[in-house]
Each structure stands twice: as C-alpha cells, then as structure tokens.
C-alpha cells in the first residue's frame, strides 16, 4: 500500500470515530464535535491532496532525472566509443611511425657505413694527391677522423665534410692547375719548378732557366716524376698559354694513360 492510500484510510477511520455520537452528549455538544470533526476531515483532505501533489512532482522529477541519466549514459557511451576509435587510430599511427623509425635507422646505418669508408679512403687518397689539391682541401682534410668509429662529430657534419672534399677533388680533376713546387733533381739538388697539372692523371714541370723538365703521373705511393729535359720549351709554352702570356697554340706534350 502506498503512503497516500494509508493516509486516506487513517483519515476515514478517524472521521468515523469522531462522527459517532457519545453517550450523554447534548445537541450543542454534538454539533461542536461534528464541526470539529469536519474541520479535521477537511485538514486531512488538504494534507492528502498536498501529499499527492508532492508525490506527483516527485515522480515527475524522478522521471526527468531518469531521462537525464539516460542521455548522459548515451553520451558517455558515444564518447567512450570515440575514445576507443581514437586510441585504435593512435596505435596504428604509432606502429607506422615505429616502422618509419626502423627504416630511418637502417638508412642512417647505411650512410654511417658509407661515410666511414669514404673517410678512410680519402685519408689514404689525399696522402698521395698533388700538393695543390692537398692545400685546397687542407681545412676539410683536418676534420677527417683517424678512427671513424670514435669520431665526436655528428653524422651530418661528417657527411658534409666528405662531400666537400669530393667536390674539390672532382673540380681539380676537370681543370688544369698551375703551381710552383720544389722538385728534387737527379744530381741531389733541388730546384723550384712550375708544374702544370692536367686533372689528376698527368702533370708536367719545367724550369726554363735551368733547362729542366719532367713528367708526373699518379702511382700507388704517390706521384712519380720522370725527368724529361727535352720538353722544357713545350711545357713552358703551355704554361704561358694557360696564363694568357702568349696566344693559344697547339703544343705537343707526351702523355700516358698508364
């Protein structure tokens, strides 16, 4: 039984008890009692009506709260589903980034191996290179590590340094270079000579005043120089043409591809 039904039953029982005539009561007393009973009955009805109204309001509030909770639960479930989708997307992205990271690490390892090998080869090559080329790359060659595995330079700096040296070597190989050097002669004396390098494959030197000349070629241990005093005039003429000291002309000089 609900609360308002119980209250209604109590009120009716009280009304019946109050309306029953009492023994020995006068008409005036009976009227007063009935009046009092009626007032109490009306008050009881008012209380019952108020409780019913309160119960209806409470039921409506509970219904509204239940609907609000349902909407909140639906919204939470949607947000939870969205969060799960975002987590799945993030996990796929992380897996993709990890794959790219592994590819990058493999590429870096390959570049590091190549740079280390080139550094070792360049140190050996420059030791046998012509003096003008060594002078041209002096600052860069000083940065070549003696032990690539123990270098403190970053991989980017080392790669840039290697590329710089290779560029200078390539440039030297495609140019004619004239330089002054001191050459040791067959009699044990030394003389300052003018050397004309034709790239990295051939060179000629001469000292026209002393009538000496020769041919230079690269070898396993460095450049080898062969005296050829008979070409002194031709080498001097080639140097003069290179320096724009005389008009261009065909100059025959011995050459070897070996």
Q: Whole-number mean pLDDT of the chain?
A: 86
pLDDT digits (tens, 9 = 90+) for 150-202: 888 999 999 999 999 999 999 999 999 999 999 888 778 889 999 999 999 99
For residue 181, which of 165, 197, 199, 200 has the smallest C-alpha distance?
197
Domain map (residue ranges) of the chain: 110-171, 176-242
Between residues 239 and 6, the one the model is more confident about: 239
pLDDT digits (tens, 9 = 90+) for 78-119: 999 999 999 999 889 999 988 988 998 898 889 999 999 999
- The DSSP secondary structure of 126-171, one letter per residue, reads HHTS-HHHHHHTHHHHTTS-SSGGG--S-HHHHHHHHHHHHHHHHH
Query: CA 18 → CA 21, 77, 149, distances in Å?
Result: 8, 60, 112
Between residues 204 and 11, the one the model is more confident about: 204
Q: Which 3 state secondary structure label does DSSP give 190?
A: strand
pLDDT digits (tens, 9 = 90+) for 163-176: 999 999 999 999 99
pTM strictly above 0.85: no
């Amino acid at each position: 039984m609900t609360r308002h039904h119980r209250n209604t039953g109590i009120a009716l029982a009280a009304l019946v008890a109050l309306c029953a005539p009492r023994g020995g009561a006068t008409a005036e007393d009976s009227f007063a009692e009935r009046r009092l009973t009626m007032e109490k009955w009306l008050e009881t009805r008012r209380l019952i009506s108020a409780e019913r109204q309160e119960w209806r309001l409470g039921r409506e509030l509970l219904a509204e709260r239940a609907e609000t909770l349902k909407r909140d639960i639906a919204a939470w479930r949607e947000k939870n589903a969205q969060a799960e989708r975002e987590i799945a997307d993030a996990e796929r992205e992380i897996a993709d980034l990890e794959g790219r990271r592994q590819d990058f690490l493999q590429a870096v390892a390959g570049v590091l191996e190549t740079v280390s090998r080139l550094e070792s080869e360049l140190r050996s090559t420059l030791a046998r290179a012509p003096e003008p080329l060594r002078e041209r790359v002096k600052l860069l060659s000083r940065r070549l590590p003696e032990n690539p595995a123990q270098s403190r330079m970053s991989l980017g700096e080392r790669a840039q340094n290697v590329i710089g040296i290779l560029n200078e070597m390539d440039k030297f190989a495609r140019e004619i270079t004239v330089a002054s050097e001191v050459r040791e002669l067959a009699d044990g004396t030394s003389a300052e000579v003018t050397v004309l390098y034709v790239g990295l494959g051939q060179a000629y030197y001469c000292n026209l005043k002393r009538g000496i000349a020769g041919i230079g070629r690269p070898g396993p241990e460095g450049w080898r120089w062969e005296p050829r005093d008979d070409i002194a005039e031709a080498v001097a003429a080639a140097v003069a043409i290179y320096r724009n000291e005389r008009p261009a002309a065909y100059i025959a000089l011995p050459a070897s591809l070996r």
